[in-house]
Amino acid sequence: MTNNDILRRIRFTFDFNDSKMIEIFGAAELEVTREQVSNWLKKDDDSDFVKIRDIELATFLNGLINVKRGKKEGPQVEPEKRLTNNMVFMKLRIALNLKAEDIVDILKLSGFDVSKHELSSFFRKPDNKHYRECKDQILRNFLQGIQLDIRPETAE
């Protein structure tokens, strides 16, 4: 999945307008313009389409955590310069305050079964022997499951 796909899916799932998107970036101390947000959300074949970089998506996800959960005391968390599916998954889990059972249920909504044990491997540090890379299919199913949970009327 591309960063732009992830951003588009989050925007649709939570029904965020441009102002809310700008507010979320601002919650992690990144000022963006409506034009930047609009260009990141455009389809890949649009002439105005712009790829959102890892650091910008990481900032957005940090902002989402701040908006949904409240900002932690102290300085803003530095956004990662390199973002993996595992990191995106973890940030969404934190923002939505999800426990393992919640994630298992969300994944079931999209027709994807995973055990708690298997799930925990995605949230481990990469140097842990039980760490497992989160593939696009799993992240896509998770985002789809969140959408079906929050906006059931969008089910096909």
What would the two tokens of residue 150 be?
């929050």
Q: How many CB atoms lie within 10 A of CB 125?
A: 8
State the Cα–Cα distance between residues 108 and 104, nearest whole angstrom.
Answer: 6
Domain map of the chain by residue range?
Answer: 3-69, 85-150
What is the tens place of the pLDDT at every residue in 110-143? 999 999 999 999 999 999 999 999 999 999 999 9
Question: CA angle, corner 80, sides to 77 and 82, nearest 5?
Answer: 175
Task: Quote the pTM value.
Answer: 0.94
